[in-house]
A and B are shown apart, each in its own frame.
Chain A
Amino acid sequence: MSTINARIEQELKSIARELLDSKEIEAFIGYKKGSMPMTMTPFVARSIEDVEKLCWNSFCVLNLANYLPQVLRSFEPPRRPNEPPPEGPLPKVGIVVTGCWSRNIVVQIQENQIERDRIVIIGISSRGMIDKKKVYKMLNGHEVTSVEEKDNQLIVKGPDLYEEINRWDVVRDNCKTCVHPDPSIYDVLIGDLKGERQIRNRFSQVEEIEIKTPEERWNWFISEISSCIRCYACRNACPLCYCPTCFVDDSRPQWVGKSKDQVDTALFHILRAYHCAGRCTDCGSCESVCPMGIKMRILTKKLQKDVLELYNFEPGLSLDTPLPLSTYKLDDPQDFILTDIKMGDKK
């Protein structure tokens, strides 16, 4: 009997094939199998033959929206940085999305990084992606040579190893607390929509840190980032990070020191998180790709909580609701502005 993912994969291939065949799109952004168990490689299918490589399972942890702006640009005629795009319709690109990836596409459209009419979106309601680090932890670091995915189970094999793991036990933290598994924007849907998920407390991970004293919190943060090697995988895997030159790379002026100084590493992580405020969809790419297992997602999750509390806003749910930090309203909350409080004191 075929699994849910196998059926999705079948349908995905046939839709992608049709779109490429009819020349509606120039390329399709999806996933192909990686060389290691539980790994996947993002893949740009440019021909009908390529479509056969497309694959779908619970190990697609990197947000594909990340690739969209650059793939779209690759089909535009070359031009200078500030030159406007040429007149007339430009080639389209197809992409497969889950809930959070689709919300990132909404943010990218709102921030004028991509155009809605140049993308064909295939939506899938997410069942949660798997954190392979959790699997390895469960197996005590044992070598794994193959992992077979059933609907609710993983069958893990290796030298002297056969283990059946309950799928939900190893689903990523962000997926477990996800409220919107359905794509918020799509042209074609595979499977059914699931509707909002009821989560008792989706910010429990953040609250564990919030109840600490400022000193304990700082120690947690410093210890968490202490193993950072500054490879910037978290930044590069993030669909929100599209600046032509990142502040950590800038040398004129230089904002951040380049070696492994704790102050610089801390500054990078704090600023990276703040740049995502009101934009982050908690897709968990940053945490999934980190080679050192740093839980930097808790920082952006905290900001997500703040934005929800202050503005009653979650990014990417609708194209019509503007992003709170790039719009201005007279009744915006202002109590966090410190100078205001000081002025009040003087009076």
Chain B
Amino acid sequence: MKDFTISKSQFLDFLSEFKKEFDIYGPNETSKGFYDWVAIDQIEQFEIKQGLPKSSIKTFLFPQPEILFEFSANFKDPAAYRLKEPDFKEKKIILFGVRPCDARSISLNSMPYSEDTYFQKRLEQILVFGFLCKSVCSTCFCSWVGGSPVSMDGMDIAVFDLEDAYVLRPITKKGEELLNRAGLDEATDVEKEAFNRLVKENSNKNQSNTADILKSKDLFDLYNASFWQELSDACINCGTCTFLCPTCYCFDIQDEVLKGKGRRIRYWDSCMFPLFTLHASGHNPRGDKLKRVRNRFMHKLKYFPDRFGPISCVGCGRCIRECPVSIDIREVLRQMLET
């Protein structure tokens, strides 16, 4: 596959040409003054900053809510209570400025969602322009959990910032097809070489095998470890960590009926909430805080690796940044590794 090049100042115009076919989003300063996903039309000053947009990429893959089907709840309606498939938006989505951690969350989430038609349909619709990282933030820890600042996992096109130009490398067929018809200049050999060199320099030579160590640990030793008490003492059981996390994908389902029109929706739920596991009988297997806090970390760092292989965390550090009580998943990981 060919690599392409484009000057930074032209990048936004180049993307805008696809506006008819795609809805296009990238990270930018929002009207509320923080760095988050913004539609391309609202971007006044284009700048890909170091670090991450506040919300994760799952905002696009797990819409709030996902409509599973619609129905008429009016018994006079001949089609009453017949389930109707929702209209998927025809327009595809381009996401640019996606960091390697966010991109990698797509392939991790694809494991439990491999047979989910809604997720798979969204995945088909999205084209990811991943921006590789040349530097890391104080809260970044992708290399601890199997990722890397230059991982191209989950991207359709990988972009490297070479100071005066971007080099675009197609990763998937979808990405290649788009770049081939974009009419961009092919990257020079010097640029290609610079891309390869930067990838080599920034990839982790001594990447840790955290997932394997965790898999080898005894589940009940971790489950019964003493450090959960101090962690849960501080936790206020809000949903900040789970809702900002790119790999927290749990949901709840509800029927909403309004004026005879009904829909079944799937929306974000959090294992931090007591109702997450409340049974119809009234029994709650995770009735107290400690059990809920433990479950969040055990799911990501033990149950998921045991079942699927990798750790269900991409090391983006959003939870570390925004946790109201400064619970640090790196510290939990360390404690689990030492158990």
Contacts and interface: CB of A to CB of B under 8 A. Distances in A.
14 contacts: A35-B320, A35-B328, A36-B139, A40-B325, A143-B50, A227-B30, A232-B273, A236-B236, A249-B273, A249-B274, A249-B275, A257-B256, A259-B65, A289-B240
Nearest to A37: B138
A44 B235 CA distance: 11
Given A249-B273, A249-B274, A230 B327 contact: no
Interface string A297-312: 0000000000000000
Given A42-B233, A232-B239, A257-B256, A62 B324 contact: yes
Interface in B231-265: 233-234, 236-240, 242-244, 252, 254, 256, 265
Interface string A3-35: 000000000000000000000000000000011
B291 interface: no
A124 interface: no
Contacts of B51: 141, 143
A153 interface: no
A293 B32 contact: yes
B233 A40 contact: no
Contacts of A275: none
A121 interface: no
B204 interface: no
Given A249-B273, A249-B275, A291-B244, A35 B252 contact: no
A237 interface: yes
A141 B236 contact: no
A166 interface: no
B326 A40 contact: yes
Interface in B257-288: 265, 267-268, 270, 273-275
Contacts, number: 117
Interface of A: 34-36, 39-44, 62, 66-67, 70-71, 137, 141, 143-145, 226-227, 229-233, 235-237, 245, 249, 251, 254, 257-260, 288-289, 291-293
Contacts of B267: 258-260
Nearest to B330: A35
Instruction: Please provide the 10 A-B residue pairs with the shortest distance between their CB atoms, ordered closest to farther.
Output: A34-B326, A289-B324, A259-B65, A233-B238, A39-B326, A231-B239, A35-B328, A259-B267, A291-B322, A260-B64
B137 interface: yes
Given A34-B325, A257-B256, A258-B267, A236 B234 contact: no
Contacts of A227: 30, 32, 36
